[in-house]
Every structure is written in structure tokens, then in C-alpha cells.
Amino acid sequence: MLARLLKSSHPEDLRAANKLIKEMVQEDQKRMEKISKRVNAIEEVNNNVKLLSDMLSAFRSGQWSEGSEDLMKELYQRCEKMRPTLFRLASDTEDNDEALGKGYEGAHPALGYRIGVSKS
């Protein structure tokens, strides 16, 4: 349709083509913003899970330092807070966002596992 409008010599067709192009650009910008938010959320979760995992390992091996408990609680709370966000992002992920889906698959089980371990 866009190609037909652009080939036309009628001013109203060219205006319609311009409007269509602007809408396409806006849609693409919104899609890119969503992808960026997803990537940032997944990175945050992965970082928190890794740090929490490292802290749990240190706790088990007896290499525990004063003040670590507060940080561990804060990490746990962040992970709990991010859990619904991950579920929402996973349901919003489009079929062609395979890379994001794979990142989510890695973050979600680790998040659930670490939260479960932290509670015990």
C-alpha cells in the first residue's frame, strides 16, 4: 500500500504515505523501547540472582561477613519484586523476540531457585 501511495502523483496520496511512514516509525520506536526495557530487566534479575547465589555459597562455606545479611535480604526483596515483572515481560514477548525469550528462560528458573533457597 505504501509503495502505491508513494508512486501516486496526487497530493492526498503523498500525505497519506507520509502519515503511514510516521506511524510505522512510531511503532518501531515503541517496539524498541519495550525490547530495551525487557533487556534491562533481565540483566538486573540475572545480576541480582548471581550476587545472591554467590552470597549463599559464601554463607554455606562459612565465609560470612557482618552486614551481609542486610544485603542478602535486600537482594531477596529485589528478586521477589522482579518476579511479576518477568512474568509480564514473558507474556508480552513477541514470537520474533527469541533472544529475549532465551534470556528470560535463564533468568526465571534461577530467580525461582534462588528465592526458594533463600527462604530455607
- Report d(CA 114, CA 53) in Å as an integer: 7
In the block, cell 561477613 appears at 65
pTM over 0.85: no
Number of domains in the chain: 1
pLDDT tens per residue, range 48-63: 889 988 888 888 888 8
Domain span including residue 40: 36-119
Helix axes 68-92, 98-119, angle to 10 degrees: 140
The DSSP secondary-structure symbol of 120 reads -
pLDDT tens per residue, range 5-34: 889 889 999 999 999 999 999 999 999 998
Establish if 49 belongs to a structural domain: yes
CATH number of 41's domain: 1.20.58.160
